[in-house]
Structure 1
């Protein structure tokens, strides 16, 4: 596992910007652990570091980095213009016992330099780099490297209020099977601001079968639960969060904290109800149709959204189309 403020894995040779950023981050790490320089110099000189400790040397216990309380996973791709805002909203939390794992999904727009600048002043930042593979894969990479017992997610173009973790932590620490989330608002490109959910949701486990009420950036939950169910489905282009909540449905209590503590900003390339969105919905329905069928109207509503615009309606879905009453597996 990489140290704080280091790049993992290293950028390929020949990538000048990547090499420069790596040198800068390594310098930050050496300032936090000056013994690393002395050990390396000793090895180069063939001195006592390579051959063992000098006579009379009393070994001291190695100090491992303290395990944080919360790991915040932030995937990013080509968002250097807004990433700093998202990172600062995490690092400004009133709960300071956290690590921020920025997972760069193959950006080429100066993201590495931006993260390096912030990491120089805050050792809680960890920087992971991977080839472009999509947000679900990047989130799973962050969860795999998370050291804390609780995990939250942020997106590179959104913001948290400073008390986001402060309000959610008491809920999830009260018992081991709780997923907590807050309300959020969405600022659209035309300036409209919409609050979601619009009001308190007392029975989230039932309501979430009809539609996704829980945005990824609004959640705090035990890290072990995420790992137990395998994280996000990397084959979904959208609705990955809804599919994950459905997989967790029988294992957790979902608690809504009715405060707007997260601000989402719609970008021009945000995914809407496109063909890719509908394909993802169809995959979710195929996987979870039995669960959706336990709540009156939920399965039919999901099928309607997943097949809208399909002419003719795909054969396996016809039995679930509106105004039909039979419930069959898609």
Structure 2
């Protein structure tokens, strides 16, 4: 696969583009990626596209994705040179066409009602431009504090970026994620907050966060 994006920018007819664009940035997580994709295909909500951004994987990621591409037009694959998790997310953001952009890390999964529950909330509260929260933690419930690694904090007290749902135009206007070493997710949260748009937290724990493995993606949580 080439490094080009094979998906057009936002579709002009608003009725024809999806409610959600789900961005999955992945690197050498072929087996776990299959689980994440199956959880997306099992959603009760059907108005979505998924942009799988392969950050130059050297494993069999593409062969695992291939069976999903032809049967499911909403599944799109982008391969790029290895540049890191945040820049890969930004690639997916730029290629998206949904009204709202959200994320699914390749080692996590969605409860079947995850997207439906968020859509119901957003339709009832159309002023909300940024929705976050509602994760179920599996595995080790603690992570090191970003400011003092000797201190352990509970994951359920952290902001998990996989739960972020952001209006596409807002996210594009902010330039997506900044490529910084620490707290990139909280940096985005602060920029959204400082933009003075309406934002809300949802408690329903339908984003399933796997923290069983020590190599779990490190950029997806922040206090």
Tell me if TM exceeds 0.5: yes
SS in 2 for 1:166: helix
Q: Tell me the equivalent position of 1:152.
A: 102
Deviation (angstroms), 1:176: 4.1
CA-based RMSD of the aligned residues comes to: 2.7
Which of 171, 175, 185 in structure 1 is aligned with 2:126?
175
Q: Tell me the equivalent position of 2:191.
A: 247
Deviation (angstroms), 1:159: 0.7
SS in 1 for 2:136: strand
CA distance in 2, matches of 1:96, 1:148: 12
TM-score (norm 1): 0.55
Structure 1 residues 249-264: aligned runs within 5 Å: 249-250=193-194, 251-264=196-209
SS in 2 for 1:259: coil
Structure 1 residues 4-83: aligned runs within 5 Å: 9=3, 66-83=16-33
| 2:110–2:207 CA contact under 8 A, matched in 1 | yes
| 2:128–2:200 CA contact under 8 A, matched in 1 | no
SS in 1 for 2:44: coil
Deviation (angstroms), 1:161: 0.6
Equivalenced residues, count: 198
CA distance in 1, matches of 2:56, 2:201: 34
Select the structure with the greater relative contact order (CA < 8 A; seq sep ≥ 6): 2
Q: Tell me the equivalent position of 2:136.
A: 185
Task: Tell me whether 1:227 sits opposite 2:178 in the alignment.
Answer: no
SS in 2 for 1:179: strand
CA distance in 2, matches of 1:159, 1:175: 26
Deviation (angstroms), 1:238: 3.5
- The answer to which structure has the higher strand fraction is 2
CA distance in 1, matches of 2:33, 2:217: 19
Deviation (angstroms), 1:260: 1.0
Which of 89, 114, 118 in structure 2 is aligned with 1:164?
114
Q: Deviations over 1:93-114 (max 9, x none)?
A: 1110110100000001000111
Q: Tell me the equivalent position of 1:268.
A: 214
Please identify runs of 4+ aligned residues in structure 1 that moved more than 4 A: none
Deviation (angstroms), 1:248: 0.7
Q: Which runs of 5+ in 2 are unaligned?
A: 7-14, 142-153
| 2:127–2:198 CA contact under 8 A, matched in 1 | no
| 1:74–1:102 CA contact under 8 A, matched in 2 | yes
SS in 2 for 1:268: coil
Deviation (angstroms), 1:89: 1.1
SS in 2 for 1:155: coil
Deviation (angstroms), 1:243: 0.7
Larger radius of gyration: 1
Change (3 A) 1:180 1:8: farther
Q: Deviations over 1:111-163 (max 9, x none)?
A: 01111112232121000011111111011000101011111101000011111
- The answer to which structure has the higher helix fraction is 1
SS in 1 for 2:159: coil
CA distance in 2, matches of 1:109, 1:189: 27
Task: Tell me whether 1:141 sits opposite 2:87 in the alignment.
Answer: no
Q: Which runs of 5+ in 1 are unaligned?
A: 1-6, 11-25, 27-64, 198-212, 282-301, 303-330
Q: Tell me the equivalent position of 2:162.
A: 217
